[in-house]
Amino acid sequence: MLRNNDLGDVLVATPLLKGLRKAFPKAKIAIGVGKWAKPLLENNPEIDEIISCNAPWHNKQNCRFPANSPKTFLEGLFYVLFSKESRSITKKRFSHGIDILGSRQGSWLLRRATIPNRLGVKGYAGGDNWCQKCVQFNETQKVAEAALEFLPLLGAKKQIEPRPSIFLTHAEEEDAKKRWHFQSEKSHKVIIAPGGGFNEKCWGNENYKKLTTLLQNDPALTISIIGSKDDKSRIKIEENDRVRNFCGKLTLRQSAAMVSQSHFVITNSSFSMHLAGAFKVPSLTLLGNWYDSAKLHHQQWGYPEGTIRGKERNAGINNITSVEEALIRIKSQLKQ
């Protein structure tokens, strides 16, 4: 299974791993991901092998040029034909290969690896011409549900919940509890994750700063800010006994453990939204100007206990959510 994409993309592929293991308990199941995503799959009982696939397409970490750039095409082709990782995948002699994204480069990689049974996606990124079977892309379908449609193509009829999985150890959970221990047991533990790709996709640093300032006025709330070291300066606020900025201080799995022990998550459309979904933690996802429809985004990426807010151009809502609107939504959900 190929999923050399961003962190959230890898998480939403985990329901398919569960389905494959249930359908084919004796099969060897491997997943190819970038090195940045490997920690998310540690301890996952559905996987026999995590393969390094640092391919230069459809990810923020290893793709230097726009998706439709000729340079991206050439870099991808070079990776498929000549990279050490491509040769390594070929040597493993897999019988079936699934490119969940459905890209040209992904299907080329499966073909280069001489995998006889190749499955992809039709109608999204052009990879269907090199696959024997494909699922049909549907923009109104949840991405995790779409991935599960590969199961019937393989003759499996398993019913799997389209919810991500990350398998934390007891030690990781206990470590997170200790990090949260700086507040009262009666506090609501709130995660704020202000990172999330390029600026247009994000709700905005100033909005997050204002919201955090307002939230810390509520003595019943304790706030942990998580993200990469690049996210540390997004919310410029003085730390105290109820507000801590962990950006750049935690591993991916430590961040996941913090989310698992929280009561509420506030985030952009990002990895943290999917962590909240994995642990069934209520969340508020605040979209940036890039997105025209919060409703469509929820159809594609949302979770039952989560809310997504932003523009809705078809309904005449042309502005992103205000700080005041976000605050009202958060307080309402915390009372439930």
* Domains (range + CATH), the chain: 7-153 (3.40.50.2000), 170-335 (3.40.50.2000)
Local confidence band at 184 (pLDDT 50, 70, 90 cut-offs) = low
Q: Would the pLDDT of 47 be above 80?
A: yes
Query: Mind giving me the DSSP string for 265-334?
Result: EEESSSHHHHHHHHTT--EEEE--TT-SBHHHHHHHH--TTEEEES-BGGGTB-SPPPHHHHHHHHHHHH
pLDDT, tens digit, 9 for 90 and up, residues 275-297:
999 999 999 999 999 999 999 99
What tokens does 65 get?
A: 């040029």
Residue 307: CA count within 13 A, CB half-sphere: 16
Distance, CA of 62 to CA of 58 (rounded, Å): 9
Position 182 pLDDT exceeds 70: no
Of 299, 275, 265, nearest in space to 7 by CA: 275
Q: How confident is the model at residue 164 (pLDDT cuts 50, 70, 90)?
A: very high
Q: In the prediction, which pLDDT does 31 show?
A: 99
Q: Taking the CA atoms of the chain, what radius of gyration do you get in angstroms?
A: 20
* Size (the chain), residues: 336
What is the band of 62 on the pLDDT scale with cuts at 50, 70, 90?
confident
Cα 141 to Cα 148: distance, rounded to the nearest angstrom: 11
Give the whole-angstrom CA distance, residue 128 versus residue 106.
10
Half-sphere exposure of 263 (CA within 13 A, CB side): 17
This model's pTM is above 0.75: yes
Contact present, 30 and 47 (Cβ < 8 Å)? yes
Query: In the numeric block, which tokens belong to residue 261?
Result: 């022990």
Cα distances (angstroms) measured from residue 249 to each of 40, 253, 259, 284, 297: 17, 12, 15, 23, 30
What confidence tens digit (pLDDT) does each residue in 211-266 have?
Answer: 999 999 999 999 999 999 999 999 999 999 899 999 999 999 999 999 999 999 99
Q: Where are the beta strands (DSSP E) in the chain?
A: 30-33, 49-52, 96-98, 117-122, 133-136, 188-193, 221-225, 243-245, 264-267, 283-286, 306-309
**Residue predicted with more confidence, 67 or 24:** 24
| Mean per-residue pLDDT over the chain, rounded | 95
Overall average pLDDT of the 45-74 stretch: 91
pLDDT in the model for residue 183? 59
Element (H, E) at 336: none
